[in-house]
Structure 1
Amino acid sequence: MLEATIDSTITTTYPTLTFGIISYKSIAISTSPQMIQGRIRYFQEVLSVSLEEGDLTDIEGIAAWREVFKAFGIPASRYRPSHEALYRRVKKGEFLEAPHSAIDLNNFFSLEYQIPVGIYDASKLSGPISFRLGVAGETYEGLNGRVFQAEGKLISADQQGPFGSPIVDSVHSSVQTTTTEAIQIFYLNPALSADEAGQLLSRAAQMFTQVHGGEAEWIIVQGDSR
């Protein structure tokens, strides 16, 4: 059974912040099937055309997460939400190519739902997940090749410490083609209702298991005020 909590360091500042978690078991990750590659490439091409005019910060999902960062004093111009970084690449015509199917779908979900999404190897995590602010001295090696300074940032953590964030995820918990159990975290738009969040997670889980097989279960993690 999935277990996760939101720490008071988050709820006192942003009580409506909500997270979704999907747990996958007995999955098989490999190169994305041609049909999926074609669908994702076409989606990015259409998105790129739609982004030619206008400011990315006018996109509802990007604006929403910039507001979240602002509430926590995280400068979004320096630490961009991960989905905004993806949007900026697509806007430039830098279409995303992933090393395997799990990252392909993770990027697709992030672009489609306009939110940060992270996927992690469950075998590398221990204990329940907590969503909190990083404290002094907490760091990890990020997938961008830089050391991520977690202090004051929104993070996802297990008993060993932080392993992910809506900015960049850790190398330690990254998913590989050998991964058979995974955890996918959706840093949801605070404007979503519980019903909308549930529909989003259900659709994502169904699409992921259609490609990778296995089983999925999901939960919505929210503060006491919701």
Structure 2
Amino acid sequence: MRAYRDFYWRLSIDPTKQRPASEALIRRVLGGGNMWRINKFVNAYNLASAMTGVTLGAYDAGRVRGGLAVRFAEPGERFQGIGASSPKLLSGNEIVVSDEEGIV
């Protein structure tokens, strides 16, 4: 966790307000919440992330358009998270993965 938090601080992101994904998942489970049950593949990498503290992600190659890039969100972009009822409005200080059509 320390390496992720240090990395966030270097990017001027406060990890106490926007937690690294693996830390957020671990805190959710330790706080009595459950891991989202999406499908066997996603469930497996979420479990691996919670057990190792390493942030993981996977994407459906058939739905990705062009190459993937890790970047800061543009202010006003929206992200539809897994299990979220509505998209989250981003400030521009979030790290996102995107393809040529937008955030994936």
Q: 1:78-108 CA distances to partner (integer Å, 9 max, x unpaired)? A: 2111111121123234453523201211112
Stretches of structure 2 lacking an aligned partner (at least 5 in a row): none
Q: Comparing both chains, which one has the higher relative contact order based on Cα–Cα distances under 8 Å and sequence gaps of 6 or more? A: 1
Report which of the two structures shows the higher radius of gyration computed on alpha carbons.
1
2:47 is matched with 108
Higher share in strand? 1
Quote the RMSD (CA, aligned, Å): 2.0
Secondary structure of 1:108's match? helix
Alpha-carbon distance change, 118 to 148 in structure 1, aligned in 2, over 3 angstroms? farther
1:140 touches 1:148 (CA, 8 Å); kept in 2?
Answer: yes
The match for 2:100 is 159
Cα–Cα, structure 1 residues 109 and 160, in superposed 2: closer, same or farther, change >3 Å? same
In structure 2, the CA distance between the partners of 1:148 and 1:107, relative to structure 1 (3 Å rule), is farther
The AA in structure 1 aligned to 2:100 is Q
Report the TM-score, using the length of structure 1 for normalisation: 0.40
1:139 matched to 2:78: yes
Q: What is the CA distance between 1:152 and its match in structure 2? A: 2.4
- Structure 2 vs 1, CA of residues 97 and 142 (structure 1 numbering), >3 Å: closer, same or farther? closer
Q: CA deviation at 1:129?
A: 0.9
Aligned residues: 102
Q: Which has the higher helix share?
A: 1
User: Is the 2:79–2:89 contact (alpha carbons within 8 Å) kept by the matching residues of 1?
Assistant: yes
